[in-house]
Structures are given as structure tokens and as C-alpha cells.
Structure 1
Amino acid sequence: MTMSTAYSPVPPRQGVAASCLVLPQGHWPDLLSFLRQRFAHVADAWAHRLAAGQVWNDAGEPLAPAAPYRPGLRIWYFREVAHEMPVPFDIAILYRDERLLVVDKPHFLACVPGGRHVRETVLTRLRSQPGLEQVSPIHRLDRETAGVMVFCVDAASRGAYQRLFEQRSVQKEYEAIAPWRPDLSLPRLHRSRLAEVPGEFVMQEVAGEPNSETLISLLAQRGSWARYRLQPATGKKHQLRAHLAALGIGIAHDPWYPVFRHDKAADDFSQPLALLARSIAFTDPIDGSQRHFVSQRELAWPAVPA
């Protein structure tokens, strides 16, 4: 099992925390033999890490390639992504106090390290700044989505803020630009059951009891495009993107909905997904104050017909 955790025997590097791997039950002559077999596609990377003393045990001691294999041992290392694409957009700080840090996330920047994104993430950039080494996200946005994102600076308060999202005690408002459907009656409360497409990254609407709900309103119309207000009552993966796609108004420049476009697999920074987390509001669980944070970003109307 691979994981990241608040505890680490080695300090972060440029805002990136070490990852942890718990060795499973089994028999291998040494640690390198296991890693070469388990991660055959990056076997050379593990050999290099071990030879360079870049794999550690819980005591922070480097492990040698010939170290004996011990089931249950936790080993620590830093993930590396070759040729990680720089994201040429900055994070704007909307608010900061002793407990919260609120940012205006740009499009294309992942929230946390994962997959092919390690350094080019909001969390990594924030943690590389003095005083923010332990900052943690309270919720997440899709990598392609821009807008308001809340982080916790004070570890002791993190759980209270996270429970707000778990209990749906947060009012979230998004904006999207998508095709205009004159026959679609708005405002509209769209409820459906969303489920992952087997073997795919995307969601789809299926028969059954609804598990997702979004209030959709019209903000403006320009030719064949419209700007919509989206107010989700639930937080299913890709909920807003899947809901609009199901209504026949897939969000402009969406590489995944209504169908995955292979030509959009690589980022095109000139065509960001037209989806913005406009605002977040909640009652602060620590002091009872009313919190309301609003993105300063604006979605650009598409230059081509819908």
C-alpha cells in the first residue's frame, strides 16, 4: 500500500512530502528484488533511489539495495515524475488568518500530488512557502476547474472544517459556460444517480435512487452559448460536468464530457474548462462567524459556435 501521511522521518522537499510504502507479506531475497518485481515499469528508478540513499525506514535511516525484505516495514521515498509539464498560472491568495487559507486556484493545476502531477500542484506550491509547510486542503476541485479552494493552516482545527463538507453544511456556487438550450426550462433542479463507468475515469447517469443534486440557473446568454449558475447540494465526482453533459449542454472545452476526446489528452492552456468555483460560504465551526469567499476570476466566452 502506498500512502502519504502527516508523519515522515524525512522533511519535505520543495513542498513535496515523502510517500510511504508498507511492504506486503511475501518472500524476496532483498528489498530491491521486491521493488523491481512490484514496480517493473520503473525498476531502474528504484535501483537509483536505493543506490543514492534515497529510500528510508521509519527511523530516517537510508536502506541499501541488499537490505533484507521485511513484511510490514514502512519505507519512505520521494515520488518523481519525468518531464512534468509546468503550469504557467499563479495561485491568488484570497484570505488568510491563523486557521484558514483561501486561494483562487487556476485552471490546469492539480490540488494535491498524484499520478503525473507532483510539483505542479496547489498543495506543493503552498507548502514550499515559509509558514505553510503543514497546510492541508479541506476539500478539492478537479484539476481542470478553477476557483475558490479552502485550506487549513492549523492542524488542530482541520477536522472541524472537514466535517462541514462531510455534513453538507457548506454553500457552494459554480459558474459554467455551455451551449444554450432554449427548450430547457430554468431554473432547474437536476437530480440523478451517478456511477463510475467501469474501467473509465468518467461518471455516467444510471437508473436508481438519485445520489446527486444540482440547481441550475441561467446567468447570461450570448449567441449559442450561455453562462449558468450551478449550486450543487451533493459532491459526487465530476457531478457538474456529468449533469450538464446529460442535459446535452456539455461544458465548453471539457476533454472528458460528453465523450472523451483523445485529441485533448494533452493540456491546451488556451482552452481551459469553462467551469469556475465562484464562491463558498459557511458558518465557522470554531468561532461562529459567517465565512464567504468569492473568486476574482472570470470565464471567457468561447470564440467558436456551440
Structure 2
Amino acid sequence: MSSTVKFHGKAPLPMRDGVTPSFLWLPEGQWPDMLTFMASNYPAVTAAQWRERMERGDVVDGQGAPLMPDARYKQGMRIWYYRELEHETPIPFHEEILYQDEHIVVADKPHFLPTIPTGRFLKETLLVRLRQKLGIEELVPIHRLDRETAGVVIFSSNLDSRGAYQSLFQKRLVQKEYEALAGPLPGREFPFVYRSRMVEGDKFFTMKEEPGEPNSETMIDVIAQRGEHVLYRLWPHTGRQHQLRVHLSSLGIPIVNDVFYPVALPCKQDDVSSPLKLLARAIGFPDPLTGEWRYFESRQQL
């Protein structure tokens, strides 16, 4: 129910422990009071929990006035609240800050850590951890990595320059370099370019290939032999969801420890001893403010 619309302005609730407040516009409908609405629309949170949060002032209107449980429901009003999780499994890996200036923060994300809050993850995310560490409420990622993928992620810390950095990705001026561990491809000449048409898969959050005009492209090269596997260097020229994982799987060499491709395995607890062998090794781009070439490289190894 929380709004996906970006908010540009000052929220009436402050950042708390790295978590910024969420907001929503109250939809058309009839509810006798705010408690009934919140409990009806957020079934994962009990009415008793909502009552406790409202009584401590953690649900407010657009001016910051607390909304008590018996407050009248007003269609079209914007309300603010904190998302909370009763239980969140700690992720036993730590991020590293590679670079920081007045405009951007560059972080080295570990495997298993989501980039942003989603689903069962809130404080155990790269964004919230960095906000806790740096105290920068305006911090937001300008691109993302899958939770299972490790490596370099760039964040904007300055609203005034954010659009300039975001436009680099929109204009495809950013060069991304990945490494992946997978099986050998005998008979291939390297480097080579793989193209395909990718669409949403039959299972939630997966992708698949289908005949038609290609909309994804990856250049693939070999770095070194690693026993029965090969360490590959990958340059994605497009940014489709799970693109590298789908492309290598389609070539018959799924990335080591990939639980989605070629077959999505049943959902289970993370096996932190077997991370996906995919690393966002480096990222480079012309700085939109200075024209200088910027290059950042992960310190992790597969």
C-alpha cells in the first residue's frame, strides 16, 4: 500500500535508525477510523500493533500531526508511517564504502544483501545500512544489483545533482564489468557477443528468452580456468533483469550456485556458504559535473 511515487520535499517524520518514513494517499472507501483502515489494508500488522504505533506518534498526516486510532478517515489525505519488521534475519556479511564525495557514495555490496528494503528485508539492506553509517537521509541508489549478486553500487547523496547521475544510466554512458564462475564453453572464440529477446518468465521474479528481436546484449570473455570451471568477464550492453544469469544459462553454462536458472528451485533459507558466483567487478562513467572519467572497482573475489 505504500506509495511508489517519489517524494521530493521534507517528510514530516525524521529518518530513524536508517529507515525513512513511507507515505500513502488514502484511497476511496469507507472506514470508521484510521485504525480500522490500517489494520484492514496491512494484514501482516495486527490492530494491536497499529494502535501501539499510532499512540506513540509514528503515524502522522502531511503536517506531522499524529493520527490517533480513532482519527476520522479522510479520503485523499496523505499519511506517513514507518515500515517495521518484527523479526529480520541478520545477514552475516558487510558492505564497504569505496568512495564518497558531496554527490555520490560508492559501496561494495556483499552477496545476499538486498540493495533496498523489500519484502522481508528492511534494516538488513545496503541502503539502510549506509544511511545508518553515514546519517544521510537523502541517500538513494541510482542503479541496483540483485540480492544474490555482489559488487559495486553507486548511490546519490545530493538531490541537486541526482538527475545528472541518473541520466548517465538512461543514456547508457555507464560501462559495467562483471565476473562470473561457470562451466567451460569449448569450441567458442572469445570474446563474443550474445544477444537474445528476454521477457518475464512463467514463475515470479524470473525471466526467459523467446524468439524475436533481441532486446539484451552481453559481451563475454575468458579470464582464467578455475579447475573444472571458467572465470568469465562479462560486459552487459543492456540492463535486463537477471540478464547475465539468463544468458549464461542459455549457453548451457549456468552460473555456479544459481538457484533460479536454468530451473527455479523451491524457496528455502539462504545457504550463505554457497553464494551466487557473480560479481559486479567495476563500473566506469564520465562524471556529468566535471567530465572526468570515474572508475570504481570491487575489492571482493569470487
TM-score of the alignment, normalized to the shorter chain, above 0.5? yes
Which whole-Å CA distance do the structure 2 matches of 1:39 and 1:182 have between them?
53
Q: CA RMSD in A?
A: 1.6
The Cα offsets for residues 90-115 of structure 1, whole Å up to 9 and x where unpaired, read as 21121122222111111111111111
Q: Which residues of 2 match residues 199-214 of structure 1 at below 5 A?
A: 200-214=204-218
TM-score, scaled relative to structure 2: 0.93
Which whole-Å CA distance do the structure 1 matches of 2:293 and 2:208 have between them?
36
Q: Does 2:12 match 1:9?
A: yes
Summarize the Cα distance change of 1:175–1:80 in structure 2 as closer, same or farther, 3 Å threshold.
Answer: same
Match of 1:83 in 2: 87
Which residues of structure 1 form unaligned runs of 5+?
300-306
Work out which of the residue numbers 103, 110, 116 in structure 1 matches 2:107: 103
Tell me the SS of whatever aligns to 2:128: helix
Q: Does 2:221 match 1:217?
A: yes
Match of 1:254 in 2: 258
Q: Does 2:255 match 1:287?
A: no
Which whole-Å CA distance do the structure 1 matches of 2:137 and 2:130 have between them?
8
The answer to which of 246-255 and 277-286 deviates more is: 246-255
Match of 1:52 in 2: 56
Match of 1:269 in 2: 272
Summarize the Cα distance change of 1:76–1:35 in structure 2 as closer, same or farther, 3 Å threshold.
Answer: same
Which whole-Å CA distance do the structure 1 matches of 2:50 and 2:186 have between them?
57
The answer as to whether partners of 1:253 and 1:274 remain within 8 angstroms in 2 is yes
The answer as to whether partners of 1:18 and 1:79 remain within 8 angstroms in 2 is yes
Which residues of structure 2 form unaligned runs of 5+?
none
Tell me the CA shift for residue 199 of structure 1: 5.1
Tell me the CA shift for residue 41 of structure 1: 3.6
Aligned length: 298
The answer as to whether partners of 1:31 and 1:66 remain within 8 angstroms in 2 is yes
Tell me the CA shift for residue 137 of structure 1: 1.2
The answer to which of 66-75 and 37-46 deviates more is: 37-46
Percent identity over paired residues: 51
Tell me the SS of whatever aligns to 1:127: helix
Q: Which residues of 2 match residues 25-40 of structure 1 at below 5 A?
A: 25-40=28-43
Amino acid at match of 1:49: R
Amino acid at match of 1:73: M
Tell me the SS of whatever aligns to 1:59: coil
Tell me the SS of whatever aligns to 1:243: helix
The Cα offsets for residues 177-203 of structure 1, whole Å up to 9 and x where unpaired, read as 011232444322111111112451100
Which whole-Å CA distance do the structure 1 matches of 2:259 and 2:58 have between them?
37
Match of 1:303 in 2: none
Amino acid at match of 1:12: M
Amino acid at match of 2:126: V
The answer as to whether partners of 1:126 and 1:133 remain within 8 angstroms in 2 is no
Amino acid at match of 1:3: S
The answer to which of 187-196 and 48-57 deviates more is: 48-57
Tell me the CA shift for residue 36 of structure 1: 2.4
Q: Does 2:160 match 1:156?
A: yes
The answer to which of 35-44 and 56-65 deviates more is: 35-44
Summarize the Cα distance change of 1:207–1:142 in structure 2 as closer, same or farther, 3 Å threshold.
Answer: same
